[in-house]
Structure formats: structure tokens, C-alpha cells
């Protein structure tokens, strides 16, 4: 009896501490989200201000209406696959039901913002926290979700790059400037690493501790879905730029895939927003057969279609959602107020 009574204050203190931490995380998440939104608006203002209207006009003049339409179509396919990243990961990190509408909104906006601002682990996680915390997901679940989504991205990159290097080593040589045998060896090495990863998750060796952090890799069926989603996403992203190339460029799609993956990896490693500058330089080196002026025009249209338009749409969606949430809170507060008494 006394022992039970002695434990009650400790339990109450633990509950109070957890509630205090939860309020602190919520406050920090709100501040980070607001800061990120303001920063995004500022970046959008400067990006649009720095665009040379003459160059943009010339770039769009070189591209036909069919090319622009196809570029927008493949951009939609790519971002649709990105929404699947979160939808698949949610099944792995929580038993709580989250609608696809919320998952799609969180995934699309987080990627659209992080692609433009850079530092994806920070920016994407902040946007996800902004959205998922409103439906009850905790910080640890959101962090795990962001990690799994990142694994999906790299699996897709690895699968596409490995397959191209193994089955189209000659086309990849246009970009790598390496012998066919060396390209084949690189492809085999990349695919061997992927197979080793599949072996780990297939045999339930999915729990790791890295510097005190406990990491749990996705299950084998989830990993296969990740590979499929990531591969389609990468192919669609490469197709956006490929269809914008001049018709007489005659660049094999396999060459574009290898160059695109390598340019994306270098862009991510640079931590430059959207890999800007690094991505373009890599593509210029990878596709020497395309006239530089025409390739730069295609890259500019690619930036506008694949990065800027989704970024603007993401900011509109986030702003609209915040306004609707605030309006809903205000409406509930007004509904709960007692009606004023009438004077006799």
C-alpha cells in the first residue's frame, strides 16, 4: 500500500515531464515551420527577381508546346511517386491511420520546398512535422518517416544507375568516359550493394544503433515497394529534362539516366539549393554533343518546370492549409462562447 502510494508521485512527475517535452517540441516545431515558410517566401522573391526575362523567353521559345506539355506530365509522375514515399513509410512507423490526402500533402510540399531550399533532412523534416503533428504523429515517428523516405530515394537512384551501367555500359560511356568493362564493373558493384541491403532486411537484420540512435530499417516487402517507387521517380525526373532537349540531340535515354543520377548525387553533396550550378555543370560535361546554348535553355526550362512551379504550388497549399486551420480554430472558439443574455 505504502509502496504503491510512493510510486504515484513519480508516475505523475514522469507524465508531467512528458507533457512538458511534448509542448516544447510543439512550440519548437511551430517556430521552425513559421521560419521556414518566411524563408521560402524570401527565396521565391529573390529567385524570381534574379531570372533574366530575355533568357527565360528565349528558352521557352526554343521548346515546343509538346515538349513543355511532356515535361509537365513527367514532373507530375515524379511528384506522384514522391507522395508514395510517405504513404509507404507511414505503414512502417505508425499504426495510426493517416489519410493519403495528408500523406500526399506532406510529401509533395516537403520535397518541393527542400528541393529548392537545400538541406533536405532539415527542411523536409520541418515541413513534415508541421503537417503530421497536426494529426497526432510524434517527433520520433516523423523522424523515422523522413529517414525511410530518404532510403527510398537512394534505393531508386542506386537501382536505376546500377541497371544502366550493367545493361547499357556503352551508352553510359558517353557520360563516364570510361571503358565499357569499367562501367560494367561499377554497375555490378552498385547492384551488389543493393542486393546486400535486401539480404539484411530479408533476414530481419533491420535494427541498428548509430551513436545512440536506434534505427529500424523497413521490412522486405516495403523495401521492394520503395525500390519500385524510387526507380520510377528517378526515370520520370530524367525524362523531364530528356524531352526538353532539342530534337536533333539524339541522346539515348540510358545516357540521360546515368548522367541525371550522377548530377543529382553531386548536387545533393554540394548542399546547394536544388544542386543549382553543380547539376548544370555536370550535365554540360555529360552531354558534350548537345549545343551548349540549347542545353542551357533546356536546363533553365527544366528548373522552372520541375523546381519552381512545384515550389510555388507547395507554398500556396501550405498557406491555404494554415489559413483554413486558423479559421477552423476561430470558428470553434466562437461556437463555444455562451450566447449573450437579452436584457428585459
270 or 158, which is more confident: 158
Reading the block at residue 276, the C-alpha cell is 543549382
Best CA proximity match to 136, nearest among 91, 98, 85: 98
The answer to whether the CB of 86 falls within 8 A of the CB of 248 is no
45 or 136, which is more confident: 136
Q: Say if residue 296's pLDDT is above 80.
A: yes
Q: Say if residue 71's pLDDT is above 80.
A: yes
| Residue 97 neighbours by CB distance under 10 Å | 7
| Residue 210 neighbours by CB distance under 10 Å | 7
pLDDT at 142: 85
DSSP string, 22-54: HHHHHHHHHHHHHHHHHHHHHHHHHHHHH--HH
pLDDT at 173: 79
The residues, ordered by sequence, that sit 6+ positions from 322 with a Cβ below 8 Å of its Cβ are: 37
The answer to whether the CB of 114 falls within 8 A of the CB of 62 is no
Residue 244: pLDDT band with limits 50, 70, 90:
very high
pLDDT at 4: 46
Sign of CA dihedral 28, 125, 312, 314: negative
Q: Determine the 3-state secondary structure of 215 from DSSP.
A: strand
* pLDDT, tens only, 165-185: 898 888 777 777 789 899 999
Mean pLDDT rounded to a whole number for the chain:
80
pLDDT at 262: 85
* pLDDT, tens only, 83-95: 999 998 888 888 7
The answer to whether the CB of 104 falls within 8 A of the CB of 87 is yes
Delimit the domains of the chain by residue range: 25-318
Residue 25: pLDDT band with limits 50, 70, 90:
low
Q: What is the mean pLDDT of residues 286-315?
A: 89
Q: Say if residue 3's pLDDT is above 50.
A: no
* pLDDT, tens only, 187-232: 999 999 999 989 888 887 667 665 555 667 788 888 899 899 999 9
pLDDT at 294: 85
Best CA proximity match to 109, nearest among 273, 305, 322, 317: 317
Q: Say if residue 256's pLDDT is above 70.
A: yes
Amino acid at each position: 500500500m505504502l509502496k504503491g502510494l510512493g510510486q504515484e508521485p513519480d508516475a505523475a512527475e514522469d507524465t508531467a515531464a512528458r507533457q512538458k517535452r511534448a509542448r516544447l517540441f510543439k512550440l519548437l516545431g511551430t517556430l521552425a515551420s513559421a521560419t521556414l515558410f518566411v524563408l521560402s517566401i524570401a527565396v521565391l522573391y529573390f529567385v524570381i527577381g534574379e531570372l533574366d526575362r530575355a533568357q527565360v523567353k528565349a528558352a521557352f521559345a526554343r521548346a515546343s508546346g509538346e515538349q513543355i506539355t511532356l515535361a509537365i506530365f513527367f514532373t507530375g509522375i515524379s511528384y506522384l511517386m514522391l507522395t508514395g514515399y510517405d504513404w509507404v513509410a507511414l505503414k512502417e512507423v505508425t499504426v495510426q491511420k493517416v489519410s493519403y490526402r495528408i500523406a500526399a500533402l506532406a510529401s509533395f510540399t516537403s520535397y518541393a520546398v527542400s528541393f529548392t531550399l537545400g538541406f533536405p533532412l532539415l527542411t523536409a523534416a520541418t515541413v513534415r512535422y508541421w503537417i503530421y503533428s497536426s494529426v497526432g504523429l510524434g517527433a520520433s515517428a516523423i523522424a523515422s518517416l523522413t529517414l525511410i523516405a530518404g532510403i527510398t530515394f537512394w534505393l531508386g537512384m542506386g537501382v536505376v544507375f546500377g541497371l544502366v551501367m550493367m545493361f547499357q555500359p556503352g551508352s553510359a560511356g558517353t557520360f563516364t568516359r570510361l571503358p565499357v568493362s569499367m562501367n560494367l564493373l561499377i554497375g555490378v558493384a552498385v547492384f551488389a550493394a543493393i542486393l546486400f541491403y535486401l539480404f539484411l532486411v530479408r533476414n530481419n537484420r533491420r535494427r541498428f544503433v548509430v551513436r545512440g540512435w536506434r534505427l529500424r530499417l523497413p521490412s522486405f516487402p516495403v523495401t521492394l515497394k520503395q525500390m519500385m517507387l524510387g526507380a520510377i521517380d528517378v526515370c520520370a525526373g530524367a525524362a523531364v529534362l530528356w524531352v526538353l532537349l532539342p530534337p536533333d540531340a539524339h541522346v539515348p535515354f540510358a545516357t540521360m539516366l546515368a548522367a541525371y543520377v550522377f548530377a543529382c548525387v553531386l548536387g545533393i553533396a554540394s548542399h546547394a539549393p536544388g544542386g543549382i550550378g553543380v547539376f548544370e555543370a555536370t550535365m554540360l560535361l555529360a552531354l558534350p554533343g548537345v549545343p551548349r546554348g540549347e542545353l542551357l535553355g533546356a536546363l533553365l526550362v527544366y528548373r522552372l518546370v520541375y523546381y519552381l512551379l512545384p515550389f510555388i504550388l507547395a507554398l500556396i497549399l501550405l498557406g491555404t492549409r494554415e489559413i483554413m486551420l486558423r479559421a477552423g480554430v476561430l470558428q470553434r472558439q466562437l461556437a463555444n462562447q455562451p450566447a449573450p443574455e437579452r436584457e428585459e
